[in-house]
Structure 1
Amino acid sequence: MTPLQGLRILDLSRVLACPFASMILAELGAEVIKVEQPGSGDETRGFEPFATSPGGERVSGYYMACNRAKRSITVDLRQPEGVEIIRALAMRSDALVENFPTGTMQRRGLDWPKLREIAPKLVMLSCTGFGQTGPYARRKGYDTVFQAMGGIMGLTGERGGGPVKPGLPVADLTSGLWVAIALLAALRGRDAAGHGAHVDLSMLDGQVSLLTIAAARFFALGEVPERMGTEHPGRVPTASFLCSDGRFLHITASDQHWAPLCAALGLDSLAADPALASNAGRLAQRERVMAAMTAAMAGMTRAQAVTALDAVDVPNGPVLALDEVLTDPHIQARSAVQSFTDPVLGSFPSLRLPFRFDGFDDPQATRRPPGLGEHTDEILAQIGYDPDRIAALRAKGTV
């Protein structure tokens, strides 16, 4: 069996953070029922980038990246009959996840106090930008807003330069990981305590919780870390260096790597200085160390530097572009890139989950995302709706 086989997750979420979380759970074996708006579906079905079939049909790559392995039902939550469907599904589910603006579920009669009455063992998670309480609770926000307010953008950028956002929507993606962790924790608690729970997850809280070592510097030293590009505030050398072929190599060395690093790069004068043998000494002479290493790396190709550093076990890694990552021999050997068969596009690449199980069935093959409302009739039939009733709901636009 797969690790989460037997769990049913009712997913009312859209866009990225929560759909990413529910996809993780789906690919670990949970049954995820994705609830979408009739006619349009999750907004990301209309997001770039689009893959185009030989016949000219377009499918959103964005949607496919975060909705694999789910079942899709279309339900209009603005109609009483739609709310009735969600209540019936909640009674048959282990968990419900939603990311509507604060107050939306309450207005529709689907808030935690109402659902707890009919499904006392349900775990419900509400993911919002700023949480259910606090002065910002009703503010709107997106990934980059939470990056800005949560500190990561202020910490990221070149020396003396302005703030820079990372190349991925890290607030959305890490919030998705927090959602998955919280749901699994609450479900484990439900099994032990015999009753469900509500989880209030703020995406801003999630970003603040990631500050970790940056916050530790503030707590310990009263220091607000400056932007340092690829360098590390507390370790030297840790940085990306430009090589003679125009490529970058990232090096991270601790005290045990210092002597072999100097030998590999021909930095004899640095190796001979006892003050540089410890990280504290190198921190005190950061500019000297960095200048010498920058000059040494500029005289080597990246491949030459990798060979020299690997030979003496100094941690290093080439700074790879996306296409280089996805075609890297190690990534390929780990089967990190797989594919699923889409009914419109045919075979389409995907990224598998990073887990390898021994003791459970390993969910190795990624499964395709659902078509909009693909499983509506099937799911409604499972909760007792006959074909005539389903047809009537469809005629009314409820499903």
Structure 2
Amino acid sequence: MKPLEGLVILDLSRVLACPFATMLLAEMGAEVIKVEQPGSGDETRSFEPFAEGEGGSVSGYYMACNRTKRSITVNMRHEEGRKILRDLAAQADVLVENFPVGTLARRGLDWPSLEAVNPRLIYLSCTGFGQSGPYAKRKGYDTVFQAMGGMMGLTGERGGGPVKPGLPVADLSSGLWVAIAILSALQGRSRTGKGGHVDVSMFDAQVALLTIAAARHFALGEVPPRLGTEHPGRVPSASFRCSDDRYLHITASDQHWAPLCAALDLPDLAADATLSTNAGRVAQRERVMAAMSAAMETLPRGDAFARLDGVGVPAGPVLALDEVLTDEHVQARGLVESFEHPVLGSFPALRNPLRFEGWDNPELSRPPLLGEHTEAVLMQRLGLDAARIAALKEAGAL
């Protein structure tokens, strides 16, 4: 048995943050019913990159965040479509939506409307800036939240402009907040018997991640500068170029300093007692970094890593994506698996990283075809027969 078996989630969300969250919950056993627009579906079905198979092409973007779900098509602009969603919500444990503020209220699908038919419902709204405040009506995407939430301002090379991370960090981290919120609300419901509304703002989620950077500002009045791969409060902690033009990242604490100096043949640094503590090294950052950079530039990455790893200094090669996916530890941990897709055949994917003792582990299942489960869900959940479903399709509700 998986830990979330028996949980029913009605997923009205699209694109990335919420679909990522509901996929994680689906792989841990929840039944996720993904509601999509008839004809087009979640807009990410049209996003590149496209994987090509004998049966046609499928969006890799869509597949990355929609595995293990059931897809139904319902037209929310049609009254019969809205009735179907209200009936499904009456049976669900959780509803997830990420429409602009006020959209679902105009359609009678907001929290007050659905609480009336299901007081135990956990209703989660994920928007760019939340349900209240001066920015509530604004729209935005991942990079907007990175920019306004401080992430982008902290990221970049010394003296350079802001840089976005290589992944949509605001979307993905907001998805994790959504999953945490759902599980927290369910635990609360188990004690009170009542559902509730959860307001998740992607902007708030990014501000909440500032943690250590905000701590430096609160403690020192400092706005941390952009330092590339260097850490503002720890030396050494940075990526160093090696003689073969590859990079090795090193992060060392006080207990690692002496063995690091010995491994890199830095006797002058080792002999300086003022460098034995992190505070001393931070105060002499430029000197330490210059000496270490010069030493690393004489060694191939493999040799440098072997020396440091051999004496217990935390270090790791800066790997390209293809190197990560073929890494021996990634393979040993089974982080890359595959699913069978009716259009593509066997297709690789990243597995859910959680491992359980006492419950079955998450399993990798394929993403659904558009509307693949419409008839099955409406028959099983609402007791509709084939004739009624056909009539609803004819009327444009499905």
TM range (shorter): over 0.9
Give the alignment partner of residue 381 of structure 1, picking from 356, 379, 382: 379
1:259 paired with 2:258, answer: yes
Q: Could you say what secondary structure the match of 2:312 adopts?
A: coil
How far did 1:319 drift?
0.2
Superposed, which structure 2 residues align to 1:296-311 within 5 Å? 296-311=295-310
C-alpha contact (below 8 Å) 2:78/2:396 kept by paired residues: no
TM-score by length of 1: 0.99
Read off the aligned partner of 2:369 and give its amino acid letter: G
> Corresponding residue for 2:210?
211
Is the partner of 2:104 in helix, strand or coil? helix
Q: TM-score scaled to structure 2, two decimals? A: 0.99
Tell me which amino acid in the other structure corresponds to 1:370: P
- Give the whole-Å Cα distance in 2 for the aligned partners of 1:299 and 1:48: 42
Q: Does 1:42 find its partner at 2:33?
A: no
Q: Which residue of 1 aligns with 2:74?
A: 75
1:31 maps to: 31
Alignment of 1:130-149 (within 5 A): 130-149=129-148
CA distance in 2, matches of 1:280, 1:202: 37
Runs ≥4 residues deviating over 4 A: none
**Does the aligned pair in 1 maintain the 2:10–2:32 contact within 8 Å?**
yes
Counterpart CA distance in 1 for 2:308 and 2:237 is 14
One-letter amino acid matched to 1:104 = T
Q: Which amino acid in 2 is paired with 1:186?
A: A
Aligned equivalents of 1:19, 1:362: Cα separation in 2: 20
Distance between the aligned counterparts of 1:386 and 1:191, measured in 2? 34
SS in 2 for 1:118: coil
SS class of match (1:104): coil
> Displacement of 1:163 after TM fit?
0.2
Which structure 1 residue ranges, 5 or more long, are not aligned? none
Aligned residues: 397
Secondary structure, counterpart of 1:168 in structure 2: coil
Aligned to 1:181: 180
Secondary structure at the residue paired with 1:256? helix
Work out the CA distance in 2 between the residues paired with 1:118 and 1:355: 35
- Which residue in the other structure is 1:342 paired with? 341
Structure 1 residues 353-362 or 290-299, which shifts more? 353-362
Q: Which residue of 2 aligns with 1:122?
A: 121
CA apart distance, 1:18: 0.2
- How far apart, CA to CA, are the structure 2 residues paired with 1:16 and 1:122? 23
Distance in 2, matches of 1:54 and 1:30, equals 31
Q: Contact 2:250–2:314 at 8 Å: present in 1 too?
A: yes
Is residue 167 of structure 2 the alignment partner of residue 168 of structure 1? yes
Mapped contact 2:337–2:351 kept (Cα < 8 A): yes
Counterpart CA distance in 1 for 2:112 and 2:223 is 42
Sequence identity (%): 72
CA offsets, 1:109-149, max 9 Å, x none? Answer: 01111110100000000000000000000001000000000
Deviation at 1:385, TM superposition (A): 1.2
2:110 — aligned with what?
Answer: 111
Q: Would the aligned equivalents of 2:248 and 2:315 in 1 still touch at CA under 8 Å?
A: yes
Q: What CA distance in whole angstroms lies between the structure 1 residues aligned with 2:290 and 2:100?
A: 51
